[in-house]
Amino acid sequence: MNRRAGPVERLKAGRLARIGPWWRRALGSDGHERHAVLLIGKSTLAATIAWLISYGLLSAQSPAFAPFSAVLIMQVTVYQSLVQSLRYVGAVTTGVAVQVALGFLAGPEVVTFALVALVALVIGRWPALGAQGGQVATAAFFAFSTYASAAGYSEKVTQLGQIVLLVLIGSVVALAVNLVIFPPMRFRSAEYGVRTLAQALCGLLGDIHPVLTAGELEGEQTAQWRARAAGTGELITQARAGMRTARESLYYNPRRLFRRHHGRTGFENYGAMLEALERTLYQAASLIRSLDQWRETETSYNYRAFLERYGTFLESITDSARLLSTLDEDHLADQTDELYELADRAQRCRRQVAEQAESDGLPLADPARPYGVLVVEATRLMEEVQHTSDVLQRYADT
């Protein structure tokens, strides 16, 4: 890049440099980029078809209602498109009905508009409408405008009914496009959630075990570890959301019939692995608190050998997490065998931790000391790793 280029030129060049990799990811992998491209393309197609029907075939007075509805209903899963379309059509129909009930009784007066707004906003708070609740008032306002500008009674009725018809057309078109053209299958979202949590665990324990093996703990290090462990809550929330999306993507989706792994079994096993990793992250956070407490309270005991054993154990857990961070349903058999080998090694390391604590005469039963807590945390971490291995085995056998 020309060093004399101004900040605007450098900014444009940087954006252009990111476009190529983004499109390569969209074309080469089933990830966020490809999902975004498909959603935009299908929304464009649905909006165009809805416009052709409303403007070209029906010559509607307000044809934009149909493409607007089509874009609004196009969701990341067929299930969500269906749910949101039912709520949206219900909200719009209710808003128009409020206008019909009050407008034809009281006429296009300001007081009538205020009453329509009041009733529509109250109905929009109904939980059954969900995120589409605000459309009740929106539809009522458009209906009132249409009612006020229409010339005669028959024209008023025709145009108000046309609003509902256009919304139905847009919703049906969106559902049809989403169902027929690459119906979204987010099965990999569940796999991605497991990978994300495994990467977080791998990164956290991967920074801890070298320090423990060296036998040195510093206050700044343990404080940083605690802060990182506390930040994993957001990752857990995102992983759970990805799991919900993955489950929903199977509902009413014809593509599920062509999958090698499909149905409840796969998602139940992915969910079990996700829960195990959540518990492992919580155990890791508890372990870090214990290490921080150790640093604050212990100054006279020789705990170097115990720390070294503990660091080796955490290294074995890190290797298991690293394997899970590359989870791939197409290679489950090989990954399961490797995970079992890593779990066996971690189990041996855990026993060595307990043996070292006993040989050093550490006060494991003293609740005011962190030794017993650390041994217990090692046992719990090992249980979760073993449980994850068993779940992965069940999934590989389906």
Confidence of residue 258 (pLDDT cuts 50, 70, 90): low
CB-based contacts of 256: which residues, under 8 Å, 6+ apart? 185, 250, 262, 263
Confidence of residue 27 (pLDDT cuts 50, 70, 90): low
Confidence of residue 263 (pLDDT cuts 50, 70, 90): very low
Distance CA 350, CA 283 (A): 15
User: Which is higher by pLDDT, 26 or 398?
Assistant: 398
Q: Are residues 270 and 339 in the same domain?
A: yes
Q: Quick one: average pLDDT of 88-101?
A: 92
pLDDT the model gives residue 67: 94
pLDDT the model gives residue 89: 93
Q: Are residues 196 and 237 in the same domain?
A: yes
CA-CA distances (angstroms) from residue 276 to 236, 282, 346? Answer: 11, 10, 16
Q: Are residues 55 and 127 in the same domain?
A: yes
Average pLDDT of the chain? 80
User: For residue 36, is it within any domain?
Assistant: no
pLDDT the model gives residue 301: 45
pLDDT the model gives residue 155: 85
Domains: count for the chain: 3
Q: Quick one: average pLDDT of 192-221?
A: 81
pLDDT the model gives residue 17: 53
Phi, psi at 71, each rounded to 5°: -65, -40
Per-residue pLDDT at 265 exceeds 50: no
User: For residue 244, is it within any domain?
Assistant: yes
Residue-wise pLDDT for 317-348, tens only, equals 999 989 888 887 777 778 888 888 998 999 99
The residue from 146, 164, 180 where one domain ends is: 180
Q: Are residues 97 and 171 in the same domain?
A: yes
345: domain CATH number is: 1.20.58.220
Which stretches within the chain are classed as H helix? 7-28, 32-51, 65-73, 78-106, 110-123, 134-149, 153-180, 187-214, 219-230, 232-248, 264-297, 304-324, 332-359, 371-397
User: For residue 145, is it within any domain?
Assistant: yes
Q: Are residues 233 and 379 in the same domain?
A: yes
Distance CA 211, CA 229 (A): 17
pLDDT the model gives residue 357: 83
User: For residue 353, is it within any domain?
Assistant: yes
The residue from 120, 147, 180 where one domain ends is: 180
Q: Are residues 87 and 171 in the same domain?
A: yes
Confidence of residue 386 (pLDDT cuts 50, 70, 90): confident
Structural domain range at position 55: 42-180
Q: Are residues 314 and 235 in the same domain?
A: yes
CB atoms within 10 A of CB 156: 21
Q: Are residues 69 and 22 in the same domain?
A: no
pLDDT the model gives residue 209: 86
Confidence of residue 196 (pLDDT cuts 50, 70, 90): confident
Q: Are residues 126 and 151 in the same domain?
A: yes
Residue-wise pLDDT for 138-168, tens only, equals 999 999 988 888 777 888 888 889 999 999 9
User: For residue 35, is it within any domain?
Assistant: no
Q: Are residues 89 and 121 in the same domain?
A: yes
The residue from 155, 180, 205 where one domain ends is: 180
Are 388 and 283 a contacting pair, CB within 8 Å? no
Confidence of residue 262 (pLDDT cuts 50, 70, 90): very low
pTM comes to: 0.58
User: For residue 2, is it within any domain?
Assistant: yes
Distance CA 324, CA 333 (A): 13
Q: Are residues 214 and 302 in the same domain?
A: yes
Q: Are residues 215 and 138 in the same domain?
A: no
User: Which is higher by pLDDT, 260 or 101?
Assistant: 101
Q: Quick one: average pLDDT of 68-77?
A: 86
Q: Quick one: average pLDDT of 217-238?
A: 79
Per-residue pLDDT at 15 exceeds 60: no
CA-CA distances (angstroms) from residue 358 to 74, 215, 216, 334, 362? Answer: 62, 18, 21, 37, 6
Confidence of residue 26 (pLDDT cuts 50, 70, 90): low
